[in-house]
Amino acid sequence: MPANDPAPELAGLGRDHHEGLLLGWKIRTGMAKDVPPVRIQRYCRWFLREHLVPHFAIEEDLLFPVLGPADPLVRKALAAHRRIQRLILGCSRPEVALTHIEEELEALIRLEDRRLLPRISEVATPALLAEVQRVHEALPEPQGGRPEDRFWAKD
């Protein structure tokens, strides 16, 4: 594995990160098309429930303990997880929250891909990396299916 690359067993998390970046693109595209913010927010809530919550659980329960809760990068990622969830679930003004969601999610993904996951890959045991891969591959398909509201698609 080249330096600064996450372990191959974490490839599923990398695919999740790609989906997260696509969420940011969908938010930006929807906002540029003047899609009502509540429609975009509804999709973000679905994405949080079906994708982000299981992804965050793998990171928080299996990966982040490798470095420990006092590690500055772990603390930064955990804080970002909480902020993203609060922005998606709690904002009464979705038009304000959506820009922040997109920015926070992209910054978190870049932090994890470029710094945190490569560092964890260096010190995690092969058994732990295999467990992360097994748990990720066992995640169920989204319960709610794919939302039919593709607000970002061409009209």
List pLDDT tens digits, range 17-34. Answer: 999 999 999 999 999 999
Domain that holds residue 52: 8-137
| Residues 97-135: b if buried by 16+ CB within 10 A, e if exposed | bbeebbebbbebbeebbeebbbbbbeebeeebbeebbee
Question: Is there a domain that residue 151 lies in?
Answer: no
Point out the residues of the chain with pLDDT beneath 50. 1
| Count of structural domains, the chain | 1
For residue 104, being part of any structural domain is answered with yes
How far apart are the C-alpha atoms of 105 and 56, rounded to whole Å? Answer: 12
Report d(CA 125, CA 139) in Å as an integer: 22
Give the pLDDT score at 142: 76
